[in-house]
Amino acid sequence: MAATLLAFVPAFMPQSLFYFLPRVSAEERTTCISNVALYLGVAGIAAALIVSPINPLISGPVKQLSIDSNGMVPVFLAAWILVSLNTTMPVAEGRIFWQANFDVILSLLRTGLLCFAALFIGTLLSIVYALLIDACARVIVMALYIFTREAKPKLSFCFDRGLRQFRYSLPFAISNSLFLFRAQIDQWAVAFTTGASALAVFSIGAVLNPIASLIRQPLYNSTAPRLSASFTQHDFHASRELISGGISYTVTILIPAVGGFFLISRELIALVYTVQYLDALPVMHAYLVGIGISSVSVSYALPSINKGSFAVKNNALCLTLSALLSITFCLWLGPVGAAIGSVVTLVVSETWSMRAIAVALETTIFKLLPVPIIAWVFSATAICFYISTTTSPVYDKSTILVLISKATLYILTLSICAVIFHVFDFKKLLKTT
């Protein structure tokens, strides 16, 4: 429930700080932050009222959950929406280490509270209270950040500026919603065109999909303010360098990861889900290709150059395309067809986004791409994959030994490539991103 509300209710307002803060004075920064905090507070209260028992339209299970938690679930959701500001505010002001430190501390606190509630109390109410304590701690951290900033006044609101922030954010909020639907359309295609067993196979094949987001999200958070500032100053060379450096970073991490999962995918499915689900292998391979393609994605840069209307158009048309391709290919090829349709749509969407960004930065697609690094990393990964596949010992009855031997050889050969050829030079990549 919290994840669903967080996907829609904040309406991209926290991320708008990446765009506005590099463009305004210190005093106006306070106004931008205060406007977002006010919006999230009001939106959180509205969301809490929607899921509370006083709403006559709420479904039975959600209403019962609120009653069983003594009304704490709506309070938690309101607080959780408010503290979504913590995910962008410090980074947008360049205080990355401040956010990183408190993220670690608060994550440890959350884990400790949930473990204590689950192991020593074991009731729904105790878990809800643990989550609420975590949310309240994050509210305190947010207030601590706001009121210890050097800027004065500490809070300042402006309706006109808030309206401009909302107008900027709304297209991206719509675009994100369309993207979330697009991310689920292949699963719906399998559900409508095949049986429950095929859907289970498809779900297992898609289990690695979040990897790309886990790698790309920190990149977006760290580069968005600088990209926005360079674009505002018409320093397109710096913008191109940031985007190219970001691609180098994701390629260097994701391509070897994709190669590794390709290598052990059969053993991984057999070990975790049993051999009867090996039909998920083609689906997993199709999505691994998609993860590899997403390593050169630049769509995260669209908010920094204020391409909201383009993002809506892109995701709306690609949602339709994904539905058509996923259903058509699924009827033709089975579950793997839905995955192929999704990957083809990804290629179309990212190519279109890359062209729009290249035009905005007065360059070409190929100048945005760090072709030498892509070629080096891909070649090194392919060689390591081949060596690991052909030289790994064969164990007739032990899946775990096959997995360990393949993974060990792959990591070893990658390490040798990194040392000898400097293919994976992370220090250099970190300087560029």
| pLDDT, tens digit (0-9, with 9 covering 90-100), for 79-122 | 989 998 988 898 888 887 888 888 888 889 888 988 988 888 87
Maximum distance among all alpha carbons in the chain? Answer: 70
Distance CA 306, CA 290 (A): 26
The first and second tokens of residue 285, run together, are 């391979």
Contact 321, 348 (CB under 8 A): yes
Render pLDDT for 294-304 as a digit per residue (tens, 0 to 9).
Answer: 999 999 899 99
Q: What is the pLDDT of residue 396?
A: 59
Q: What is the pLDDT of residue 353?
A: 95
Q: What is the pLDDT of residue 167?
A: 95
Q: How many residues does the chain have?
A: 433
What are the backbone dihedrals phi and psi of residue 226, each rounded to the nearest 5 degrees, phi first? -70, -35
CB neighbour list of residue 163: distance below 8 Å, 6 or more residues apart: none
Q: What is the pLDDT of residue 2?
A: 56
Render pLDDT for 68-90 as a digit per residue (tens, 0 to 9).
Answer: 777 788 888 899 899 989 888 98
Give the residue, 268 or 123, on which the prediction is more confident: 268
Distance CA 128, CA 132 (A): 6
Model pTM score: 0.86
What are the backbone dihedrals phi and psi of residue 63, each rounded to the nearest 5 degrees, phi first? -65, -45
Averaged pLDDT for residues 32-61: 85
Distance CA 365, CA 300 (A): 15
pLDDT at 429 over 70: no
From residue 48, how far is each of 15, 54, 76, 327, 336 by CA, in Å? 22, 10, 8, 37, 40
pLDDT at 328 over 90: yes
pLDDT at 413 over 60: yes
Give just the sign of the alpha carbon dihedral 154, 155, 158, 164.
positive
Identify which of 244, 303, 215, 262 has the alpha carbon closest to the alpha carbon of residue 406. Answer: 262
